[in-house]
Amino acid sequence: MKQLILPSIIAKSQSELDAKLRRFQGAVKTLHLDIVDGRFAPNKSLEFSFTLQKKFQYQTHLMVKDPEKWIQKQINNSSINLFIPHFEAIDYPSRYLLWMKQLKKKTAVAILPETTVGHLQEHLPHLNYVLILTVHPGFYGSQYLPSELQKIKLIKKVNPNVKVIVDGGMNLTTIKEAAKAGADLFVTGSYLNNYQPKKAMAELLRAIKNPNRSRAAGYSIS
């Protein structure tokens, strides 16, 4: 699997969602939807009966208190190709992972900065994806936590086949750090919101393909 950059989407209304989806038409094929219920994290996003454009595929990062209930409602949505609930919000992880496999879905969880790889270790052999948050969840522009990248090596030591998603604070500098640490997918929100999406995506892709080169001119670090 090649390394991919996924724009994150936070929206509080259908009109805001539609506007953000239009921005990325022709720039990417897959978008990362941040679902926030205001209880798991101090914000709300996509907490309404939204409609998704068929021009994209979507993965959903579920920052919600009852992720299984949310997944059950959306399980037949063919536009959503990956559900990423928070490990901390799942009462019975083994049962959840078995449920996903029975549904023939890829298995994935996200972990908060406070959650160690040790907490997740027994479940790693059964996971296809792990999302590492390099910020505290809920908002664009939260403080970047570079020490979280150390988790990538620990995760891949247990399961070399798992794909690691890094989410939070990604720009032309930090995305190189994540690439060097072994990340497979990179979620970015604030950086892409500040620039024309196609050009910004091209710069970020060049950064992860050549993480040792100096930053190209044209975009400032945000």
Is the sign of the CA dihedral 105, 111, 117, 122 positive or negative? Answer: negative
> Phi and psi at residue 54, in whole multiples of 5°?
-75, -5
CATH of domain 4-208: 3.20.20.70
Going by the DSSP 8-state scheme, the letter that residue 149 receives in this structure is G
Give the domain ranges of the chain.
4-208
CB atoms within 10 A of CB 209: 11
CA–CA separation, 133 and 167 (whole Å): 5
Q: What pLDDT, on a 0 to 100 scale, did the predictor assign at position 160? A: 97
- What's the pTM value of the predicted model, to 2 decimals? 0.92
Q: What pLDDT, on a 0 to 100 scale, did the predictor assign at position 208? A: 92
- Place 194 in a pLDDT band, splitting at 50, 70 and 90: confident
